[in-house]
């Protein structure tokens, strides 16, 4: 891949392809996305509350949206993304069992992500600077959409029971 200095793409070929850099132990988390559909293309994953579509071919890099919302101003002492004085960053829960966030509408997908770079730990999860989708949980109501997303994002599909640590052989 081409080298890029764009913070959304990362700063080299590894980040562009969604590979966790050598020597980094990533955080592992669980999240939910809205399904974003365009005419005649497979659905894509979008953040529930921001207009961020997760790329299928590279790492997602966090940007602080506060300057857009607050007309160019960041919080006092804001040093990077994410920052403890702000709400920016890529969010994930620590455990696979979590409630759908209030206000999130429409069809959704759930999966597993790896996060790295700067991070802020919270009581039920974390926010990080870079993230990559590593697996999706099968939606038993709409498995064909799950498998279409998995193909687009080049990730495996896990049984919903696997999210609770139950191997499929034991569950059946």
Closest by Cα among 153, 152, 113 to 134: 113
CB under 8 Å, gap of 24 or more: what pairs does 133-139 form? Answer: 133/45, 133/54, 134/28, 135/111, 136/109, 136/110, 136/111, 136/112, 137/96, 137/109, 137/110, 137/111, 137/112, 137/162, 137/163, 139/109, 139/110
Closest CA to 93 of 153, 48, 147: 48
**pLDDT attached to residue 68:** 66
- How far apart CA 131 and CA 117 sit, in angstroms, is 9
Its pTM stands at 0.79
Tokens linked to 91: 């969010």
pLDDT band at 17 (very low <50, low <70, confident <90, very high): low
Q: Beta-strand (E) ranges in the chain? A: 27-36, 44-46, 60-61, 90-93, 108-121, 125-137, 157-158
- 87-122 pLDDT, tens digit per residue, is 899 999 999 888 888 878 888 999 999 999 999 999
Could you tell me how many residues make up the chain? 172
Helix ranges, 18-140 (H): 66-69
Q: How far is 18 from 136, CA to CA, in rounded Å?
A: 16
**Tens digit of each residue's pLDDT (9 = 90 or more) over 127-156:** 999 999 999 999 999 999 999 999 999 999
Residues 151-170 pLDDT 10s? 999 999 998 766 666 555 54
Q: Distance (Å, rounded) from C-alpha 171 to C-alpha 23? A: 36
User: Do residues 29 and 125 lie in contact, with contact meaning Cβ atoms separated by under 8 Å?
Assistant: yes
């Amino acid at each position: 891949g081409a080298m890029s200095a764009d913070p959304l793409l990362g700063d080299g070929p590894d980040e562009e392809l969604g590979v966790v850099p050598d020597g980094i132990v990533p955080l592992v988390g669980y999240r939910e996305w809205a399904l974003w559909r365009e005419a005649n293309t497979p659905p894509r994953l979008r953040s529930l509350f921001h207009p961020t579509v997760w790329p299928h071919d590279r790492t997602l890099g966090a940007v602080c949206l506060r300057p857009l919302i607050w007309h160019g101003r960041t919080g006092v002492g804001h040093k990077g993304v994410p920052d403890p004085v702000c709400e920016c960053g890529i969010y994930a829960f620590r455990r696979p069992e979590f409630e759908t966030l209030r206000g999130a509408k429409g069809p959704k997908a759930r999966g597993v992500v790896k996060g790295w770079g700067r991070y802020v730990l919270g009581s039920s999860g974390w926010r990080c600077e870079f993230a990559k989708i590593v697996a999706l949980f099968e939606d038993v109501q709409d498995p064909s959409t799950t498998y279409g997303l998995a193909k687009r994002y080049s990730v495996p599909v896990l049984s919903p029971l696997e999210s609770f640590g139950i191997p499929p052989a034991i569950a059946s």
